[in-house]
Structure 1
Amino acid sequence: MGNLDFYAVACLLGLVRSQTTLTPALTATTVIENVTTTTTTPSTTTAPDCSTFNTSTCAACVPGSYSNNGTLLCSCCLEGGMCVSSGACVPCSLGFQQPLAGQQSCRPCLAGFYSSHVGSPACQPCPPGSYSNQTGSSSCQACAPGFHMSEENATFCNSCPEGTYCNSSRCVHCPLCPAGSEALQVGTTECSPCRPGMHKSSLQTVCQICSSGYYQIHWGQENCDLCPENHYCPSPNVSPIQCPSDAFCPEGSTAPGYCMETFFKKVGDTCNFAPVTIALLVIGGGIVLLIVILLIMRRRRDTDNELLVSRAPLLRRNQPAGRLYGVLGNAEPVYAGW
C-alpha cells in the first residue's frame, strides 16, 4: 500500500499544478469485459500525474471475486480516472459464489448447496447424509441419528421408517433391525429385542407371534421352537409342560389329549374300548339283530295275508250254488240289523 499512497499524493500534486500552469490531461475510456479501463494522454508537463500509472493491471475480476467499487481508487483524476491496483477485486466470502468474470457482487449459495472457502466460483451440493435449509451456507448439517438422506443437495433429512434404525449421524440409508429385534416407531436410533413368545428374521420388519404348537421363552430370538413330544405348550411364551400319564401329547401339542372316560382307556399310544363299552356294544348289537328279525317276520306275515286276499275270489267261483235259509250259497250276507 506504500506505492499506492505515493501515487495518490503524486496524483494530487499533479492535479493542483495542472490547474495553475498545465493543460489538463486528456482521458480515453475503454470497456473490457464489463470493466471500464481508462487511459490518459500524457500532458506536456513533467510533474507526476495520473498518466504515469500502469493501466495494464486494470482487468476484469476473475470468477470467484467481485469489483469492490467502494474502495477502488479511481477518483484520482477528475475526468475518467483509472484502476490503480488489481487488489480492487475482492474474493467471494464463505457461502457465496460468482461463476462469471467482472461482476459487481457475489451470489449466495442456494439451499441444499454450500461454499466452504473464499473466492469460490461455484457452490457444492450437500453430499448424501447431510442437508442445508438456508441460503448462503458455508457448510452442510449432518443428518441426526434416526434420520437419513440418500440424495445430494437436500434441504432436509427423512426420519427412519418403522422397522429400521440409524444410530449415528450422516446416515445415507436406514438398515432393517437385526434378527430378533424391531423398531415400532419412526426415527428410531436403537432397535428393541423381541419379547418371549415372539420372533423375527433379518428380512422382517416387526416381531411375529410364535405359531400354534411352538414356544419361545427368551428375548431377542430369530426363531421359535417346536413343542417336544410328551409335552404341550398352551402359550408360546411359557416352557413346555409335561404331558399327564393318561393323556396323549405328540409334537406341537397345545393341550393334552384324553381318551373318553368310562368308554375308552389309554393303552400305549392308542385308546382302546373299556369293558363297559364292549358290553354295551354286544347288548346293542343283540337288540338291533332282534329288531331286524321281527321286521322280517312281520313282513312275511303281511305278504301271506295279501296272497289270501288275492285268492279269495277264485275260491268262491269254485263253490256250488245253494241256499242257506232262503239265500243262495254264493250270495254275500247282508246285515239287517236287530
Structure 2
Amino acid sequence: MKLCETVENIWSMECWGFLSAVAAAWLLGLALSQTTLAPTLEPAVMNTTFSENMTATPMILSTTSPGCSALNTSTCEACVPGSYYDNDTLLCTCCPEPGLCLFAGACFPCSRGFYQPMAAQQQCLPCSQGFYTNFTGSPVCQSCPQGSYSNATASDSCRSCSPGFYASLQNSTLCRPCPQGSFCNSSSCAQCQICPAGTESLLAAAKDCTPCRPGMHKAARQKMCQICSSGFFQIRWGQESCNICPENNYCPSPDVNPIQCPSDAFCPEGSTAPGYCMETFFRKAGEDCELAPVTIALLVIGGGVALLFIILVVLRRRKDSDGELAQARAPLLRKERPQGRYYGMPCDAEPVYAGW
C-alpha cells in the first residue's frame, strides 16, 4: 500500500513530513513566480524529486533554492497593521529591513483574539480583559458590549451575563448581581429592573419577583414590601396599597379581616381596637357617651354638699369679721372726758347765747 493513501498512513509521521515538504515547495514556487530575478543571475531552477520506498521508508523531498540574491528585494512591502512578519521565512528574511516582506501576502495575519495596530511588527498583541476580536488580521480589539463581559486576555468573543446579573458598562470584566428589590429574567442584561408594584425580591441576583404577603404592600416607587400602618388591613397577596379599617369595625392586625365592633363600644374608621364608655358612670348613646343615672345623682348630691359648705364658710368669715370690729371699737366707747371749765362752765355744758 502506497504512502498517504490510507487513513492509517495519513496520520503517520512520514506522511506529514511528505505533505509539509510539498507545501513548502509550492509556496516558494509561488514567490518566485511573482518576483523579478536580477539580470546578472540565471533564473532559479527548482528540482523536486520524490522517491518512495515500498518498505515503509520515509519520502525524501529535495529542493534547490535560488537564495536571496535571486530575488528582487526592492519590491519588499511593510506588513500592514493586523499582520506580522516571520524572519524564518525566505519571503521576509531576504528583505533588507525588518518588518518587510516580498509582497503583502507573505505577512501573517493576527489570529482571533490578537491584534496589531502598527505596521512592520514581528508579533501580535493579545486583547485585554473586557475586549475581543473575532476575526483574523485585526488592527484593534472591540469592547465587550453592555450585558456581556470578558475576564481573560486574547478573547475572541464576550460572554453574556447570566439571568440575575448585569453589566451596565462596555468592556466589563465581570457581571454584577442585581441588588435587592430588582431582577433580571434574561441573559445579557445591561440594567436590572425594579420589581413591579406589589412584588419584591428579597435576595440579590434575583431572576424574578415574589408578591407581597398579606398585611404588606409596595408601591411602584418602593423597593421592598412595607407593613400596613395601624388601622389598615390587607388580606390579599401582591397588593400595591392597604385598605383602611371600615367604620363599626376594628383591625387588630393588618393581615386579618376587620372584626365587627361590639354593640356597647365605639369603632370609628381606622380603629385598631374597640373603645368603651367608662363603666357605671357612663353609657353609650348613639355615637357618644352619656352620664348614667347614678352619676347624675352623685353629681347633684355632691353639688349640694359643696354649696352648703361654701355658705357655712362665708357665714363663719363674716361672723369673725364682726367680732374683730367690735373689739376694735370697744376702747373708744369706754373713754371718759376730763372735767373742765370754759368761762366758769363745764366743758360738756351746752353754750347759751345771751343778747347784748
Q: Mark yes or no: TM-score above 0.5.
A: yes
Which structure 2 residues correspond to residues 285-300 of structure 1 after superposition, within 5 A? 285-300=303-318
Listed one character per residue, the Cα deviations across residues 59-92 of structure 1 (whole Å, up to 9, x for unaligned) are 1122111113334446799xxxx95664321111
Task: Please name the residue that 2:7 is paired with.
Answer: none
User: How far is the alpha carbon of 1:208 from its aligned partner?
Assistant: 1.0
Q: Pick one of 215, 238, 246 that aligns with 2:264.
A: 246
Counterpart residue type for residue 226 of structure 2 = Q
User: Residue 263 of structure 1 contacts residue 276 of structure 1 at CA under 8 Å; is this kept in 2?
Assistant: yes
What secondary structure is seen at the aligned counterpart in 2 of 1:266? strand
User: Residue 162 of structure 2 contacts residue 187 of structure 2 at CA under 8 Å; is this kept in 1?
Assistant: yes
Task: Please name the residue that 1:208 is paired with.
Answer: 226
In 2, the alpha carbon distance for the partners of 1:219 and 1:72 equals 78
In structure 2, the CA distance between the partners of 1:72 and 1:86, relative to structure 1 (3 Å rule), is farther
In 1, the alpha carbon distance for the partners of 2:147 and 2:90 equals 43
User: Residue 245 of structure 2 contacts residue 258 of structure 2 at CA under 8 Å; is this kept in 1?
Assistant: yes
User: Residue 101 of structure 2 contacts residue 107 of structure 2 at CA under 8 Å; is this kept in 1?
Assistant: no
Which structure 2 residues correspond to residues 298-309 of structure 1 after superposition, within 5 A? 298-309=316-327
In structure 2, the CA distance between the partners of 1:197 and 1:161, relative to structure 1 (3 Å rule), is same
Task: Please name the residue that 1:43 is paired with.
Answer: 40
In 2, the alpha carbon distance for the partners of 1:241 and 1:145 equals 45
Which structure 2 residues correspond to residues 1-338 of structure 1 after superposition, within 5 A? 4-6=27-29, 41-43=38-40, 53=71, 55=73, 58-73=76-91, 86-318=104-336
Task: Please name the residue that 1:325 is paired with.
Answer: none
User: How far is the alpha carbon of 1:41 from its aligned partner?
Assistant: 4.3
In 2, the alpha carbon distance for the partners of 1:240 and 1:177 equals 29
In 1, the alpha carbon distance for the partners of 2:148 and 2:160 equals 4
Counterpart residue type for residue 286 of structure 2 = G
In 2, the alpha carbon distance for the partners of 1:64 and 1:44 equals 36
User: Residue 95 of structure 1 contacts residue 138 of structure 1 at CA under 8 Å; is this kept in 2?
Assistant: yes
User: How far is the alpha carbon of 1:5 from its aligned partner?
Assistant: 4.9
In 1, the alpha carbon distance for the partners of 2:227 and 2:307 equals 56
In 2, the alpha carbon distance for the partners of 1:106 and 1:76 equals 21
Listed one character per residue, the Cα deviations across residues 282-332 of structure 1 (whole Å, up to 9, x for unaligned) are 1111111111111111111111111111112112214999xxxxxxxxxxx
Listed one character per residue, the Cα deviations across residues 235-273 of structure 1 (whole Å, up to 9, x for unaligned) are 111100001111111110111111111111111111111
User: Residue 248 of structure 2 contacts residue 267 of structure 2 at CA under 8 Å; is this kept in 1?
Assistant: yes
In 2, the alpha carbon distance for the partners of 1:240 and 1:299 equals 63
Listed one character per residue, the Cα deviations across residues 208-239 of structure 1 (whole Å, up to 9, x for unaligned) are 11111100011111100010011010111110
Which is worse superposed, 255-264 or 312-321? 312-321
In structure 2, the CA distance between the partners of 1:319 and 1:289, relative to structure 1 (3 Å rule), is farther
What secondary structure is seen at the aligned counterpart in 1 of 2:78? coil
**TM-score, length of structure 2 as denominator length:** 0.74
In 2, the alpha carbon distance for the partners of 1:160 and 1:187 equals 5
Counterpart residue type for residue 298 of structure 1 = R
In structure 2, the CA distance between the partners of 1:189 and 1:291, relative to structure 1 (3 Å rule), is same
In 2, the alpha carbon distance for the partners of 1:312 and 1:140 equals 124
User: How far is the alpha carbon of 1:55 from its aligned partner?
Assistant: 4.6
Listed one character per residue, the Cα deviations across residues 176-201 of structure 1 (whole Å, up to 9, x for unaligned) are 11111112222222222211111110
What secondary structure is seen at the aligned counterpart in 2 of 1:236? coil
Counterpart residue type for residue 102 of structure 1 = A
In structure 2, the CA distance between the partners of 1:314 and 1:104, relative to structure 1 (3 Å rule), is same
In 1, the alpha carbon distance for the partners of 2:202 and 2:227 equals 15
Counterpart residue type for residue 267 of structure 1 = A
User: Residue 72 of structure 1 contacts residue 88 of structure 1 at CA under 8 Å; is this kept in 2?
Assistant: no
In structure 2, the CA distance between the partners of 1:39 and 1:102, relative to structure 1 (3 Å rule), is farther
User: Residue 131 of structure 1 contacts residue 155 of structure 1 at CA under 8 Å; is this kept in 2?
Assistant: yes
User: Residue 180 of structure 1 contacts residue 202 of structure 1 at CA under 8 Å; is this kept in 2?
Assistant: yes
Cα RMSD (Å): 2.9
In 1, the alpha carbon distance for the partners of 2:185 and 2:41 equals 80
In 2, the alpha carbon distance for the partners of 1:138 and 1:45 equals 48
Which consecutive unaligned segments of at least 5 residues does structure 1 have?
Answer: 12-37, 322-338
